[in-house]
Homo-oligomer: A and B are copies of this chain.
């Protein structure tokens, strides 16, 4: 539970198994995925400390994923790739990866490099932490909402996940299933009303009129739409 979480994203099951074994042995918690979508779904549940990513994935642009991981999530990102070209390594590192390991790799070296990265912390996130919308300013670094008069309303981590999802996709329908996977991962099978409760609590903090919400609108049978005009800074 308190061991560092390492996520493995690679489409080869053998690689996943090898890494899982050696990392568990080394005292890490592991989660492995073969597809980027499943991986992203799990991200919100618990931010991993280290992400091992293979770039040659079938269903996404790996470099974009690396960029988002490194900058927004603040995780240590290590690319593991069969592409041995120097240019690949350089661009991978420039995009924010913390290390680049070439296949075939030695498991012991992977462990050593992970440990080396965990020793030195990452710099503070400089941007992408604040969003303004309709009289509110959301400070995701401080977990605080600020209204026009400067009054502050704190929000929790669970609420921040929902709010961030809305603010990243304003004026677009977000289905319940989308939220579920985006926030809860492969959660409980029986209906997860936790999402509704999160949104309910968020609405309260945004001082929405329950009868006539202006910002978070419910689309019966489909999902939710966030109707604010969002500016990130």
Contact = CB atoms under 8 A, between A and B. Distances in A.
B171 A115 contact: no
Contacts of A120: 98, 120-123
Contacts of A46: 222
Interface residues of A, number: 71
B86 A106 contact: yes
A135 to B, nearest CB: 18
Interface string A83-117: 00011011001101111000000101101110110
A182 B124 contact: no
Contact of A178 (B118, B173, B182): B118
Given A171-B141, A182-B121, A219 B177 contact: no
A187 interface: yes
Given A121-B182, A123-B169, A49 B90 contact: no
Contacts of A137: none
A178 to B, nearest CB: 5
A125 B116 CA distance: 15
B192 A1 contact: yes
18 contacts: A1-B192, A2-B176, A2-B177, A2-B195, A3-B177, A4-B178, A5-B177, A47-B175, A47-B222, A74-B172, A86-B106, A90-B112, A120-B120, A120-B123, A121-B172, A122-B169, A123-B172, A143-B225
Interface of A: 1-5, 27, 29, 46-47, 49, 74, 86-87, 89-90, 93-94, 96-99, 106, 108-109, 111-113, 115-116, 118-125, 129, 141-143, 156-158, 165, 168-178, 180-182, 185, 187, 191-192, 195, 217, 219-222, 225, 227
